[in-house]
Structure formats: structure tokens, C-alpha cells
Amino acid sequence: MAVGGLLPGLVSPAGGAAAWLPCHELFASWHHWLPSLPRLRPPASDGFKLLFVLLLFSAALAEVRYIASSSMAPTLRPGDRAVAEKVTYLFRRPSIGAIVFFKVPSAVQNYGVNKDVVFIKRVLATPGDFIEVRQGQLIVNGIALKEHYTATHASYTREAMRLPEGHVFVMGDNRNNSCDSRAWGPLPIANIVGRYMTSFTKSSFQ
């Protein structure tokens, strides 16, 4: 049975889980950081109507998502807009290193987070892989991954586990400030709704 809401086999540093894996804070306040999206005004001409139809069609292929937290820093920062492409994973499963958008798993929904809330994390292990962490060093199938994209090094240990079929292991690049598979377990691939393509910084909108 998990201790303190964490998965068995996860050993947190002396500061306690809340100091580096802030799931409890997120669960308590998730509705406060959901962005207020601007309302669309009705189109004023046939040209705008055509554009609106094209936008609706393109929305079936990709969409822009607002980055609300620092869990993926330094790759993505709060206020950034990230483009989620929604076609690729209809034909193949995610690979290690891919950044994905996904609906929160049932373990997170049990804390009161709406099932339609979307997180963004990086895939670090795929079905059948063995994953473990030794003093912050991620090891997949016995090989230490070279992670140039992470923020400040985190000191934690994860006992080896094998991922079940149909699941991936995801973590935020900001390991000290991410609620991810370390807390709620492997992510069902069926929950994934898009693949990260590119992003626009907050300054681009100012």
C-alpha cells in the first residue's frame, strides 16, 4: 500500500514528498490555475465564416494548449502556448523522450480533479520497459538516460518496476515540481490526446 499517497517503492528526500512532488497542492488548487479562455465573437463576413470553418477543421488535427504550471520547465514555462498534434498516436504509440498531452488518470481524478483536465509530461518508459531511479539518475532497461532537458537535479530513488502493456511512465522536466507517474503510477496510453510539436513564449503575445 502506498505511503503518504505515493506509490510503493518511491523514496522521497528528507524534506518530504511535498517538497519536491507537489501533488497535494495541485489537487487542492487545480481549479484556480485553469486559464480563462477569451470568448470568440461572431464572424462579421463570409470571409470570416470561411476562416472559422477552416479553424474548426484544423482543430481536429491540432490545438493550442496553455501551459499553466512550471512542471515542464525549462522546456516549457508558465504562460507559454504549446501546439498539440492529435493524429500521430492514432497510428503508433509514444516513444521515449516524446512530450505528450493527456487526460488525467483515474488515480488523479480520485482527488477531485476533473476528468477532462489535461496534463503535459515527457514519456520516459514504454510498455514492457524496466524503469528505476537511483539518487535522481533515471535508468531504463539497465541504461542510464542522459537527460539534458531537466531542471535542477532531484535526489530521489525509485525501485525497479516493469511497465504493464498499454501504459507509459511520464515525468515533468522540472523533477522537483511535478506531479507525475512517480506519484500516481503508469499512464494508460488511451489517455493521451496529443503530441507536443512546438510552443510560443509568453513574450510573443505581449
Ranking 18-27, 105-114, 153-162 by mean pLDDT, the lowest is: 18-27
Contacts of 100 (CB under 8 A, 6+ apart): 89, 94, 120, 121, 122, 123, 168, 170, 192, 194, 195, 196
Average pLDDT over residues 100-112: 91
Tell me 186's DSSP state: P
Between 161 and 13, where is the model more confident?
A: 161
> 3-class SS at 169?
strand
Structural contact between residues 15 and 156, judged by C-beta atoms closer than 8 angstroms: no
Catalytic residues: 71, 121
Q: In the chain, what are the domains?
A: 71-200 (2.10.109.10)
Confidence of residue 58 (pLDDT cuts 50, 70, 90): low
In the predicted structure, residue 86 carries a pLDDT above the cut 70 = yes
Q: What is the pLDDT of residues 158-190, one digit of tens each?
A: 889 999 999 999 999 998 889 999 889 999 999
Could you tell me whether strands 143-144 and 137-140 are parallel, antiparallel, or unpaired per DSSP bridges? antiparallel
